[in-house]
Amino acid sequence: AHAVFGHEAFRKGLQAYMKKHQYSNTETFDLWSAWSESSGTAVKDLMSTWTEQMGFPLLEVKSFKIEGSVAKLSLEQSWFLSSGKVPPEEKTWNVPLLIRTAKQTGRDAVMMTSKTMDVEVPLGAGETADEAFIMINEGIVTPMRVSYTPEMLQRLAKAVSAGKLSAIDRSGLLMDLYALAKAGKIGLDEVLKFVSSYAGEKDYVVWEALDTVLMGSNKLFMGGAPPEMHARFKAFASALVSKGWKEVDCGWTSKPTDGHTDGLLRSLLMRLVSHFAPDGDWIEEARRRFDLYVEDPEGRASDLPDEYRTTVLQAVLSKGGKEEYTKLMAAYRKLEKNVDLKHVQLSVGWSPVKSVKEEVMSWAISGEVKIQDFFYVMIGVSASSREGLGMMWEFFKSNFKTIHKMVKSANGSIMDACLSASCGGWTSEEKASEVEAFFEKNPLPANTRKISQILEEIRANAGFLSRTVASDLAKEEFWNGLA
């Protein structure tokens, strides 16, 4: 509403509404009426399709072409379902289209009130056909997903690389693309091709979106993709994250000039570097701080601040062996605070040494770790690698009776967490069937809902992965083209 009729009309209408009804009860339509009076817009007609029906739309650009100084688009809207399933019924919304071009932003909204619509967008003054791009949901104001044509995506990718879009628009484009890929509307190859245009990104909001895409894709590949495909993805992610870390240059310590998002960005990039690029100067500094910390975990806690302690511990363990594990466990036994213990519990399983992983899993159910905390160890092992995921599931099956007995009288959420850690990372139909068969033989009535959710997620990801494996991501030349 604010974007459609502007700040002043929005403010006046809200003030009138509050004043008129300050001592009385109201209905939703009272606010619509106040805004209608202040803006001259039929707000009830605009808002009713959003408040009186479930869901939100997918807006597809069916065709796009530039003729002279005008871009011509054919649009179609439908009910968007994240599962990718065919909607059970047809719906339409009154959709405000906030369209921007390369040189013109802040245009008045164009209303789309039918299933299909043709739109002509004048290009900005001095805007050539070669540099032109069209973004339909400027500011990500309207709650919808937008599916662009391949040509439009190429133009938008160039705009991202050239820094011509705001942070919120760069973020929104990514989140739309990833949601569309998960729903089967586009391929993950198209998403990652678009991601490559974000090399050197510096904004926290955008890195949040990149984190969603990179970590989500990594889970997908780790849970069932061919190893060579997963390795190529990690190499791609490593290059992107390494460049981001260097460009942002946020360092290891906070500065007096840091704003709220500076600390958040440092923490997020640390986590991504730990997962995809733990090498060079970064891992050397991580090891230095690790050695200081494990020597005196209480006195040297500031060398590994809470914001990235788990991240660094996991990275050093993943690049180390028995020695690093032994040092960390010795430090663990000097700690008292639950939050400090949790950092270690989430990290010790990241060692690549099989015998260490086995020792860690046995330790988790030994009784030394509190009932409400032992699943953190399981999470660490399963998240560490494909091998860790497989070992955790086999350990859970082999020790099911022991684990069940441990948590039988505890809150059901603890077993739910164990289930997620043990089998929630798989992304193949074969593993879904295996998990389903195991719990049919070993029922957990109190956790039936969680098991169903896990199976649904595995199967949804299995469908996503099967489409991905059949795409250009299976070809080495695709990855070479992203470099």
Task: Report DSSP state, residue 407.
Answer: H
pLDDT(292) > 70: yes
pLDDT attached to residue 233: 98
Given a contact cutoff of 8 angstroms between Cβ atoms, the answer to whether 217 and 232 are in contact is no
| Listed residue (108, 144, 102, 109) closest to 124, CA to CA | 102
Q: Copy the structure tokens of residue 140.
A: 């990500």
Residue 470's pLDDT band (boundaries 50, 70, 90)? very high
Span 290-301, average pLDDT: 96
Span 41-51, average pLDDT: 88
With a pLDDT cut of 90, the percent of the chain lying above it is 89
Mean pLDDT of the chain, nearest integer: 95
| Listed residue (468, 434, 471, 469) closest to 454, CA to CA | 434
pLDDT attached to residue 483: 67
H helical segments located in 249-353: 260-276, 280-295, 309-318, 322-332, 338-345
Span 340-363, average pLDDT: 98
Q: Copy the structure tokens of residue 189.
A: 């190859």
Beta bridge partners of 98: 137
Question: Could you report the per-residue pLDDT of 194-220, keeping only the tens digit for each?
Answer: 999 999 999 999 999 999 999 999 999
How would you classify the pairing of strands 70-79 and 57-67? antiparallel
- Starting at the edge strand found earlier in the chain, the sheet holding 70-79 runs 116-122, 70-79, 57-67, 145-147
* SS3 state at 157: helix
**Burial code of 195-206, b = ≥16 C-beta within 10 A, e = fewer?**
bbbbeebebbeb
How far from each other are the two terminal CA atoms of the chain, in whole angstroms?
Answer: 42
Q: How many CB atoms lie within 10 A of CB 229?
A: 18
| Listed residue (318, 302, 380) closest to 343, CA to CA | 380
Burial label for 126, CB within 10 Å (0-12, 13-18, 19+), is: exposed
Span 298-316, average pLDDT: 96
pLDDT attached to residue 45: 85
Degrees (nearest 5) of the Cα angle 89, 91, 92?
A: 165
Instruction: Report phi then psi at 224, rounded to 5.
Output: 175, -5
Report how far Cα 95 is from the mean position of its chain's Cα atoms. 26
Question: Could you report the per-residue pLDDT of 67-121, keeping only the tens digit for each?
Answer: 989 999 999 999 999 999 999 999 999 999 999 999 889 888 999 999 999 999 9
Question: Could you report the per-residue pLDDT of 130-182, keeping only the tens digit for each?
Answer: 889 999 999 999 999 999 999 999 999 999 999 999 999 999 999 999 999 99
Q: Copy the structure tokens of residue 234.
A: 């990690």
pLDDT attached to residue 201: 97
pLDDT(288) > 90: yes
pLDDT(127) > 90: no
Q: Taking the CA of residue 461 as centre, how many other CA atoms within 13 Å lie in the half-sphere pointing to its CB?
A: 24
Q: What span, in angstroms and rounded, lies between the C-alpha atoms of 152 and 173?
A: 12
Quick one: which H or E segment has residue 230? helix 227-248
Instruction: Report phi then psi at 338, rounded to 5.
Output: -60, -40
Degrees (nearest 5) of the Cα angle 426, 429, 433?
A: 90
Given a contact cutoff of 8 angstroms between Cβ atoms, the answer to whether 97 and 112 are in contact is yes
Question: Could you report the per-residue pLDDT of 408-424, keeping only the tens digit for each?
Answer: 888 989 999 999 999 99
With a pLDDT cut of 70, the percent of the chain lying above it is 100
